[in-house]
Structure formats: C-alpha cells, structure tokens
Amino acid sequence: MINKIAAQKIAAVLNEVPGTLRKLAEERQYWRDRALKAEGEHTKLAQRERIEKLASEMQRKGLDASRTTEDCINLLEKKAADGKLDVIEEAVGMSPTGRPFGELMDEMPGNARNELEQYILEGLG
C-alpha cells in the first residue's frame, strides 16, 4: 500500500514537471530580455553622457566656436554612429586650449632660439 501511494505521488509530480519547466523557461527568457533592454539603455545613456562631456570640452577649448553646444552634441552623435567618437575624443584631448587645431605657435622666423628652430620657422613663414 505504501508503495502504491508513493508511486501515485511520483506520477503526479512527474506530470507537473513539463509545465513547471516551461513556466521557468518563459520566466528566464522574460528576465533575460529585460536585462538586455536595460543594458542597451545604460549604454545609450553612457554614450550620451560621454558626448555631452566631449562637446563641453570642445566649447571650453574654443575648438568649434561657430557651433552651439547642442549643435556640437548632434554632430558628435552622428560621428559616434559612424564609429569616429574615439578619434575625435583623442584629438580634442591633444588640442591646446583656446587655439584652433591647425594653429601651433605664434613664433615668427626672426624669433628662433637656435638653428633648428630657425629652419622650422622659416618653413612655416
């Protein structure tokens, strides 16, 4: 009699297993999708923050003074979509404050301190 009751309980549990496994698989998929969505939103927010920081740094250094900060942000978002944000960020980091990219020095050829500077400055003048 005990074996018969135990066998009936085992059969009942085994009948519930497929439904329980399907339910758990659906729940796992739901949480996985939700986590991926949250990760994507986090990545977008982090990139937006990075772009805003870069735009304000460009404005602070006077690199693109003809644009507003918002225009600069829009342009940087387009460049980020093209995969060029790292290069722009590196260029901004290397640029001096208050000077355009191409302007390196205010020296004139007559202000050289040695022959090498004289040669270089004559080529620039």
Identity of residue 54 = L
Question: Is 0.75 topped by the overall pTM?
Answer: no
Per the domain annotation, does 112 fall within a domain?
Answer: no
Tokens of 88: 């722009």
What confidence tens digit (pLDDT) does each residue in 37-63 have?
A: 999 899 999 999 999 999 999 888 888
User: What is the pLDDT, as a whole number, of residue 67?
Assistant: 83
Q: Which residue has the higher pLDDT, 124 or 36?
A: 36
Question: Which domain does 8 fall in, by range?
Answer: 2-94
Is residue 90 domain-resident?
A: yes
Residue 78 located in a structural domain: yes
What six digits make up the tokens of 84? Answer: 């060029």
Report the domain count for the chain.
1
Q: Would the pLDDT of 109 be above 80?
A: no
- Find the length of the chain: 125
The region that residue 98 occupies, defined by phi over 0 for left and psi between -120 and 50 for alpha, beta otherwise, is left
> Does any domain span residue 116?
no
In a domain, 122, yes or no: no
Q: Is residue 113 part of a domain?
A: no
**Residue scoring higher pLDDT (122 or 31):** 31
Closest CA to 61 of 89, 115, 100: 100
